[in-house]
Each structure stands twice: as structure tokens, then as C-alpha cells.
Amino acid sequence: MSHPVLDTFRSAIGAEHVLTEGDLSAWEQDWRQRMRGKALAVLRPGSTAEAAACVRACAAHGVAIVPQGGNTGLVVGSVPDASGRQVVLSTTRLNAVRGIDAANLTMTAEAGCVLQNVQQAARDAGLLFPLSLAAEGSCTIGGNLAANAGGTQVLRYGNARELCLGLEVVTPQGDIWNGLTGLRKDNTGYDLRNLYIGSEGTLGLITAATLKLYPLPAARLTAWAAVPSIAAAVDLLGLAQKFLGSSLTGFEAMCQFALQLVDRHYPQLRVPLWQGSPWCVLLENSDDESEAHARARFEALLEAALEAGCVSDAVVAESLAQAKNLWHIRESVPLAQAAEGLNIKHDISIPISRIPEFVQATDALLTQAIPGVRLVDFGHLGDGNLHYNVQAPEGADAAEFLRTQEERINDIVYGSVKAHGGSISAEHGVGSLKAHTLPHYKPAVALDLMRAIKGALDPQNIMNPGRVLA
């Protein structure tokens, strides 16, 4: 492959890290296999300076850049298009933990650090980095920040945005902004950090971050509760917040069909209580005192919930292994869906108080429109984020179902999301999958402001073009 910019890349980062031949599917195909593109080259810089040199070369030659971390995103936001004219800039070699400041409760890590490794580095220092999600063994901290990832502990600790104090970013012109401050108070103008977080690589390339750490909890207990309805799950959440306060670090809800799929495809996980209950809830209690204190508070909560009728049965994990298995069941829902066949995914957020109304209304609209359709509702109920997914009717051709029904189903779901005051993207971003849909659900003034920011920072439109803003 011949292009004048390739020799510049090879000089900047070494020929072995400029990939143009062979099987590049790991970088060119998205995780859900919705799209396979063609890259001019895959670039693997080993330092921020090398990354900046690559970006400067792209700016000089007018070559578009697709930043990529672990490539675990679900909205087709980190793979090239089919033109063969875009480069993938992979951050996976930028994988050093630069330092931990225990007194300041911060860690500085490069963008290519795998999330699980960041968690482990914090634990090795006797501290906690609380961001946790199903892809943590392969997603990277730069991608987490670019997408403002959420996960299972947003209820207590917030999204990735709330866990970041500072960034290092390569601008679309190839300059380096070093904003790796560990300050919690810095009121000196525009908050550039928050501009780049959640921008999905469209405004610049995140190369490192200073992250918040927390003391490790003295004890962490997990419970699994069967509840008679999604409204009862919301009532249970209110009781849990009353009894546990900030110790409540996880609250996940799963409908019966979601758990049926896990039981069908992963019977070895032995899903508890699902057969006799429309919904189940997974709760996590992280206690600062002791396991005995945590267990007493959990038992008091569950006793009150049973009396109130919002829980019909419950189990508390008796060991770390049992707790891990309960979490593994929750994290296996998307895998069980994939094993069942192609499906239509929705990552949405709804005000918690309106979730029961939303689920009832939207379930009814979909089952009326498409008889036999199967609904897989699950997600982070504690922060209002539902993964409201749609499976083809039993025995139907799943690929044909997607081809003929996806647009119709999206219209129904997103229309209901809007009617209930929600958002069509909670934690997975917009990418290219929702870029053309966004204008129907985002105020025009907001979109104009976003376009103005994009035009000011990236006038050549070389940073992840076609993502977020169509």
C-alpha cells in the first residue's frame, strides 16, 4: 500500500508499529460485528510524543483518524469506514501506570491501560478504583473516558467523568495539552477535561488521565432478591437507599426472560429464584466497618422489604465465590442474548420514578406491533440506565428480523424514551450507529453548540469524522 504519509508514520513510531497488511480485523471490525471497515494503516504509538507526531502527520496530509482503545464499544464508534483512507490510532501500547499518589487518592494512567489492570494497580496500593463493567478485561481507560462509561457502581461513584480529575490530550493539530492535575478544585476558566470526556474521540486523542481512588471497603456483601414487578424493584431501591445510604454500591435489575436466556445457555451458573419471579434484583453493600455490620444492615433491609411486599424471596451470598457467581450471572445476560441470536440493543436512561411506566407502556407497544417479540430488559436500575433489548420471536430468522424491523422498533422505543423524559444513550455513546438518530431527540440549540465546538477545535474534521455529529 502506497501513500506519502505512511513513510512519515514509520519514521515517527517504527515500521513494525505501522500495520497495513495481513489480517487487521481486530482493528477494522467492531465488537458486535455490525461493521467491517478498511484502514489505510493501524498506528500503534508507544508514547504521547509518538502519538502527537502521528496526528501532526495526519493533519498535514488531511488524513482522518479513528482513535481506538480496546474496541469494545457497542455503537460503531472506533472502527474505520470502508474507504481505506482513514487510519486507526490504537492506544494499546500506551499502557503504563505513571504513578499513584496515595495521600491525594489519585492514580495517573495512560489511555491504553486495560481497566482491569487499573483496578488491580489500585488494589495493590490498598485502594479502590471503582469503575466496573462487563468488558473490564479488555476495554481501556482512554476508551472508558472517551465514551464516559458507566457500569455497575455509578449509583455510588458516578460515571467515568466523575472519576477523572485531569487529562493529557493530543489536539487535532498534534499539540499536547497536559492537564494531568490531581486537583479537586481548579476554578480557572473552561473545564477542558469535561469537554473531552464523552466526546468519543471527535475533539482530540486522550493519552493519559489522573483518576480518583477511594479507600477499600472493609466488607462487601451481595444479595439476590426476587421481586414481583419492576415497580416493586423501584420500591426496593428506595428502601435500600434508606437502610444502606452510601454503602449501596450496586443495584441491578433483570427481567425473567433475560435470566431464562442465561439459564438456557449457561446452566452451570445456576440462576437463583428466576422461575417464580417476573424480576430479580442484584444488590451490593460496601461497608466501611465490618462484615458483621454489613450483614446486619442487609438483613434489616431485606426483612423490611419482605414485610413491605416488594421482595418475595432473597439470598445473601455467604462467600466471595458465591458473590462472584451472582455478578457473573448479571454480566452473562448480553452473552446469553448473543448466543440466542442477533438482537436489537437499546442503551437508554429514564428518570427512576418513571421506569415502571416506561417498561409497561413500551412492552405493550412492541408486543402489539410485533406479535411474539421477546423483550430482554435489564440494567443499572439504581442510576436509571436500562438495557432495553429486543429479541426476534422464537424460531424467526434473526438476521431478517433485524433487517426488516430494527428501524421500526427503534422508532417505538426512542419515541417512548422521549415521552418519558429519557435519553437514547445512557453509557455507550452515540458513535456512528446513532449519529443520524440524534437530531430527532436532541434540541437543535444543543446540536448547534456541539457543531460549533467541533468546528473550532477540529476545523479539518479529521478526528473520528461521522461520529456523534452526522
Cβ count near 88 (within 10 Å): 24
pLDDT average, residue stretch 138-147: 96
pLDDT average, residue stretch 188-195: 95
Q: How confident is residue 76, by pLDDT bands cut at 50, 70 and 90? A: confident
In 147-290, which ranges are continuous DSSP H helix? Answer: 154-157, 192-196, 230-244, 256-265
The mean-pLDDT minimum among 23-37, 153-167, 367-381 falls in: 23-37
pTM confidence score:
0.93
Nine-digit cell string for 460 = 479539518
HEC assignment per residue over 42-69 = EECCCCHHHHHHHHHHHHHHCCEEEEEC
Residue 204 half-sphere exposure, CB side, CA atoms within 13 Å? 27
Percent of the chain with pLDDT over 70: 100
Nine-digit cell string for 142 = 482512554
pLDDT average, residue stretch 133-137: 89
Q: Is the pLDDT assigned to residue 69 strictly greater than 60?
A: yes
Q: What is the pLDDT of residues 262-307, one digit of tens each?
A: 999 999 999 999 999 999 999 999 999 999 999 999 999 999 999 9
- CA dist 385 and 150 (Å) reads 9
- CA dist 11 and 109 (Å) reads 26
| Partners of residue 102 on adjacent β-strands | none
- CA dist 173 and 198 (Å) reads 20
